[in-house]
Structure 1
Amino acid sequence: MLTRRHIRVKVMQSIYALSQSQSDQVDKELKFINMSIANMHDLYILTLDLFVKLSEYAQNQLELSQKKYLATSEEKNPNKKFIQNAIIRHLSENEALKEALQDRKLDDWELNDEYIRVIFEEMLASNLYKKYMADTEMSYENDRSFAAKLFSEIIAPNEKLYEYFEDKKLTWIDDLPVVNTLILKSIKQAKQGKERIFLSELYKDDEDKAFVKELFTKTVLNDEMLTKEIQGKTPNWDKDRIANLDLILLKMAICEFLKFPSIPVKVTINEYIELAKEYSTSKSSMFINGILDKLIKEYKQENKLNKIGRGLM
């Protein structure tokens, strides 16, 4: 579930927080990273649960309509295609999802059901929903296509939902694009009888889990050495004139060059250029690329790159 890029973002944010507070409590900040990552998993679970709550809300609305004293023929025999959607039913019946919600005490939608109502009403008014409900075709592929479009066109862009996530936890806004991408990918890849796909593991493997701690601690504990590596690589170099975030990204990249033998040089450079584009100033990516390029040439000449495996230089 968690990509290497997102791990780098989490580490970058924590090193930045550490530098701003001028604290030396490395263990405390490492705990914050792990908590932040766990919170991202909560966001993923809560977002999946939206489908379940929408289905439950729809079922409740149908039952209320059937109980009307002067219920119409359509209300007495409603179209249940949405409620019976195979993807949403998978999620409703997914015991792992139920357990995760209970274990993490994620009852947000029970306490804030107005968000379910708002999304439900937007769905009802959409051409996407009307077209789906009018279509007599009943197939897994049709249900999967609708669920994917429901998420990408109605749920994910919902402004009220975005505001809720932003207010709920500070780190969730940065996590949202990754979580949304993962959920959409899971829906599109879903196959009958393979419901477990929705509950991805937090880390791809133990190596990625260890990468969080190693990148953070090795960058922080080698700060003096990493600072020296940067000095002299730009004309009239002045630490105070470089954006703090750029300095952190450079140190993290250099740390990967020198302390992570299994990570290819090109991967490190590309990753930190992209992070600079997304999180720092408009000129940061060019600045970082220039310094890293100089360093790589120097390291190769001095044989300082200790990379394992073919194609890692």
Structure 2
Amino acid sequence: MLNRRHLRIKVLQALYAFKQSSNENYSAGEKELLHSIDKMYDLYILYLLIFEELREFADRKIEERKRKIRPTDGDINPNLNFVHNRFIAKLEENRMLHRQAEELKLNWVGDVNQDLIKKLYQQIEKSDLYEQYMALESTDFNVDKDFCIQLFKKEIANSTILLNHFEEIRIHWQDDFDHVFSMLIKTLKSIKEDANEDTPIMELYKDDEKDFVKKLFRRSIANFSDHVEFLDKYTKNWESDRLAKMDIIIMNLAITEAKEFPTIPLKVSLNEYIEISKFYSTPKSNVFINGVLDKAFADLNKEGEIRKVGRGLI
């Protein structure tokens, strides 16, 4: 499930794109924002489906070798550790996963996709991890599971073939990989051999998180001009053209969140946007934003513009 920081980043990206465009219709921007978040789930499902695709490719490869005119003993009696992996079999049996994939029309069908699976398998086949696993005389579910988790961490998640492929499909996915991988590893770890029911596939976010995204985006646009004017007194020693546009947008979001969300502690909002600025603005932005927001929050609090529900939230 997406955490609040990633949702804030998504809103930041959408707001930046909105301010860069000449479109004054925030509805279109909001639609693209929610679409961008939803597409992360596609990435999550596609990566989960990779394991069975790799197993099926390996199985076909074994059958092709058996049909050779002069098969070797290894061709006739192949190592079946991977194609008989119990953990992958458990994933293949997960009806919830395949129902979601079917509803979203996600699969690895097609020549281009199957060529990617082929190249990925060839990469995996050469890895020390794969060789060590295939050298085992016997395995059990836990051994198979640990292998798959390590395979994902070391080979699949780091495959430039897949990363480049997904970035070509959707450029915004380059900011989503780490979080999707975290979701996926949690899902893999949760799968049990003796579970009678399907292991639940993680939700992307709950309804209240979607409400958070929409409200933050809408109110940031509605109050943008007022917030820029308000921030002028804290940035008077800085010429407007020297201020990074991203800094202004980040501070606008921070002020919006402080004023519009009474249950989010002020310190959390401050720290979150300072951390985000380290990755999405200039090298010195976090120090600048910290200084400005610290003073701005103090003044807004005195003026009664910030109202928090509960103790210790200011």
- Greater CA deviation, 208-217 or 190-199? 190-199
Q: Which residue of 1 aligns with 2:81?
A: 81
Q: Which residue of 2 aligns with 1:68?
A: 68
Q: CA deviation at 1:196?
A: 4.4
Paired residue secondary structure (1:163)? helix
Q: Counterpart of 2:263 in structure 1: which amino acid?
A: S
Task: Trace 1:136-285 onto structure 2 (pairs within 5 A).
Answer: 136-192=137-193, 193=195, 196-197=198-199, 199-203=201-205, 205-285=206-286
Q: CA deviation at 1:272?
A: 0.7
Structure 1: 5+ residue stretches without partners: none
Q: Counterpart of 1:187 in structure 2: which amino acid?
A: L
State how far apart, in whole Å, the 2-side matches of 1:194 and 1:11 are: 39
TM-score of the pair, normalised by structure 2: 0.93
Q: CA deviation at 1:194?
A: 7.3
State how far apart, in whole Å, the 2-side matches of 1:281 and 1:198 are: 41
State how far apart, in whole Å, the 1-side matches of 2:301 and 2:223 are: 21
Contact 2:95 2:198 in 1 (8 A): no
What does the per-residue CA deviation read over 1:104-138, in whole Å, with 9 as the maximum and x for residues that have no partner? Answer: 22244534211111110111111101111112342
Q: Counterpart of 1:143 in structure 2: which amino acid?
A: D
Task: Trace 1:279-298 onto structure 2 (pairs within 5 A).
Answer: 279-298=280-299
Q: CA deviation at 1:6?
A: 1.4
Q: CA deviation at 1:195?
A: 7.1
Q: Which residue of 1 aligns with 2:118?
A: 117
Q: Which residue of 2 aligns with 1:132?
A: 133
Q: Counterpart of 1:202 in structure 2: which amino acid?
A: L
Q: CA deviation at 1:191?
A: 2.3
- Greater CA deviation, 12-21 or 140-149? 140-149
- Greater CA deviation, 114-123 or 188-197? 188-197
What does the per-residue CA deviation read over 1:262-311, in whole Å, with 9 as the maximum and x for residues that have no partner? Answer: 11112111211111111111011111111111122223333432111222
What does the per-residue CA deviation read over 1:240-281, in whole Å, with 9 as the maximum and x for residues that have no partner? Answer: 321111111100000111111011112111211111111111
State how far apart, in whole Å, the 2-side matches of 1:287 and 1:3 are: 25
TM-score of the pair, normalised by structure 1: 0.93
State how far apart, in whole Å, the 1-side matches of 2:197 and 2:267 are: 37
Per the alignment, do residues 258 and 145 of structure 1 end up closer, same or farther by CA in structure 2, a change over 3 Å counting? same
Q: Which residue of 1 aligns with 2:22?
A: 22
State how far apart, in whole Å, the 2-side matches of 1:220 and 1:108 are: 39
State how far apart, in whole Å, the 2-side matches of 1:106 and 1:292 are: 43
State how far apart, in whole Å, the 1-side matches of 2:97 and 2:202 are: 11
- Greater CA deviation, 224-233 or 27-36? 224-233
Contact 1:253 1:268 in 2 (8 A): yes
Q: Counterpart of 2:31 in structure 1: which amino acid?
A: K
Structure 2: 5+ residue stretches without partners: none
What does the per-residue CA deviation read over 1:184-236, in whole Å, with 9 as the maximum and x for residues that have no partner? Answer: 22223332227744621121x22111111111001111112222331211342
Contact 1:15 1:216 in 2 (8 A): yes
Per the alignment, do residues 2 and 261 of structure 1 end up closer, same or farther by CA in structure 2, a change over 3 Å counting? same
Q: Counterpart of 1:246 in structure 2: which amino acid?
A: D
Q: CA deviation at 1:89?
A: 1.6
Q: CA deviation at 1:96?
A: 2.2
- Greater CA deviation, 245-254 or 187-196? 187-196
Q: Counterpart of 1:49 in structure 2: which amino acid?
A: L
Contact 1:148 1:184 in 2 (8 A): yes
Paired residue secondary structure (2:234)? coil
Paired residue secondary structure (1:191)? coil
Per the alignment, do residues 232 and 266 of structure 1 end up closer, same or farther by CA in structure 2, a change over 3 Å counting? same
Contact 2:255 2:297 in 1 (8 A): no
- Greater CA deviation, 102-111 or 258-267? 102-111
Q: CA deviation at 1:65?
A: 1.8
- Greater CA deviation, 65-74 or 116-125? 65-74
What does the per-residue CA deviation read over 1:146-194, in whole Å, with 9 as the maximum and x for residues that have no partner? Answer: 1111111111111121111111112111111211121122223332227
